[in-house]
Amino acid sequence: MPNVIIANLQSKTIHCEDKRESLLDILLSATDWMHACGGKGRCTSCKARILTGSEHLSGKTRPEDQYAKLNKLRSDERLTCQTYISGDVTVEVPKETQLPHLNYSE
């Protein structure tokens, strides 16, 4: 089963048990992760920067395309609630969505 590594959170590694879970659900199984709209694709607070493994991600969804057009989602970022993985992925928490009680590295 694939692994998700959060590079700027002490390289925390999460073993994905069920590929039917969204990337957000996988992340939430091991850490706190912002998700203001509850995973409905109506905000960008759940976004992650993809460092490696983008080839293992599901295709971009309509909300992601719309936020990209509004410059609220960079080309290397994905909404984790809209994304499913099929292999190992390394992500980073963008500065603007980091939570104050967690200790991120640069």
Cα dihedral across residues 8, 9, 15, 21: positive or negative: negative
Q: Is 51 helix (H, G, I), strand (E, B) or coil?
A: strand
Shortest reach from residue 29's CB to ligand FES, in Å: 15
- Which of 57, 3, 1, 58 has its CA nearest to residue 30? 3
CB 2 within 8 Å of CB 87: yes
Proportion of the chain in helix, strand, coil states, percent, rounded to 5? 20, 20, 55
Residue 74 makes contact with ligand FES by CB under 6 A: no
Residue with smaller CB distance to ligand FES, 79 or 89:
79
Residue with smaller CB distance to ligand FES, 6 or 79:
79
> Which residue of 5, 30, 37, 57 would you call a contact of ligand FES, by CB under 6 A?
37
Shortest reach from residue 44's CB to ligand FES, in Å: 6
Tokens 């493994």 belong to 53
Residue with smaller CB distance to ligand FES, 75 or 105:
75
Shortest reach from residue 15's CB to ligand FES, in Å: 22
Tokens 């048990």 belong to 17
Question: Which residues in this chain contact ligand FES in the complex, by CB under 6 A?
Answer: 35-37, 39, 41-43, 45-46, 79, 81
